[in-house]
Amino acid sequence: MFSELKPLPTDPILGLMAAFKQDTNPNKIDLGVGVYKDEQGNTPVLKAVKKAEAFRLENETSKSYIGLAGNLDYCQKMENLLLGEHPALLANRVRTAQAPGGTGALRVAAEFIKRCNKDATVWVTTPTWANHISLFEAAGLTVKEYPYYDYENKDLLFDEMINTLKQVPKGDVVLFHACCHNPSGMDLNAEQWSTVADLAVEVGFTPLIDIAYQGFGSSLEEDAAGLRKLAAAVDEMIICSSCSKNFGLYRERIGACSIIAKDAATADVSNSVLLSVVRSIYSMPPAHGADIVSTILSSTELTQMWHDELDEMRNRINGLRTLIKESLAAKGIAQDFSFIDRQNGMFSFLGINKEQIDRLQKDYSIYIVGSSRVNVAGISDTNIDYFANAVADVCK
């Protein structure tokens, strides 16, 4: 049986990681992998996380299963973090299942959508996170794309986006990035979110929100504003969230899949299907990451500590965007990179071509993916001049 298998290509980002590790250039820079890095190039364990882990080590009393939905306190606290004091929560219309990371949450959502409507199409932005399409297709769903990022003008194709979404059949699912769009960094503004909410009601599609970077854009509240606006407008919605970035819990694989239904009774039915999906994929989630988040959000002291650390990460990212823009401009490059400062989160497209990307890697050991997407958190005060000189050289 195995002899019939054909080798598959390595994921481009994983291949980039391997090449970077093997590179012996002391000046090498990794701008490909999508994890937060501090000034020293490390992905730190947050102080709030360390304290929560110490508390858990002392107080954990069992290694028994935690149930299909996972840590229920974690689920409730994630609902509050995402929705605040939202009417959907007050009306008991929300149900949440802990999931193994944001990716696991998306796969659970995909299988849930399939149970609801096996013929549903999932619409994603052009471009979108590379794994979105394969996740939905693996569940047997059809995936189509709608216009989003304007590569030429480094902006949104909002009119084209709306015109396409007006044609989406009722019952289809449309995926939106709540904030810090991956890979473009371009987000909808408040007025555009209102337009999208009105359109969802008018057309009848189901919004699916991927929120992997809450707190990395403007603030915890502002980054969830579009999500909350949609939730106030529609009867049904799916939210896939992740704690990998804002809590720095990448390897703990902790996320959640939340369902908003039109009323409490429908939410209960939806929850039974959601948990059936969980049972059929991984049965029950791991405990550690959810316990950490729950412990932090249950403590006034740890919550404030986490807020402070999150603010520090966000401010560093936003400062790096300005630094990159100004450093590239100072090199006299004809190409305009000012758009980097107008975007949110860790990612931006540099807008350089494949030959220039290859030269950055070959001549300077600067690693970015083939689309020219860069993780701005990989830049620091110590490597910015090296990076800017390299870009200036390949852009001649």
Active-site positions read 129, 210, 245
DSSP 347-396: EEE----HHHHHHHHHHH-EE--TT-EEEGGG--TTTHHHHHHHHHHHT-
- Maximal CA-CA distance, the chain: 63
One-letter identity of residue 42 = N
Q: φ, ψ for residue 360 (rounded to 5)?
A: -60, -40
d(CA 69, CA 66): 8
Count CB neighbours of 33 within 10 A. Answer: 17
d(CA 147, CA 166): 12
Give alpha helix (H) positions in 60-118.
72-83, 87-90, 101-116
Assign 325 to helix, strand or coil: helix
d(CA 387, CA 396): 15
Assign 193 to helix, strand or coil: helix
One-letter identity of residue 261 = A
Helix (H) or strand (E) holding 146: strand 142-147
Pair 284, 65: CB distance under 8 Å: yes
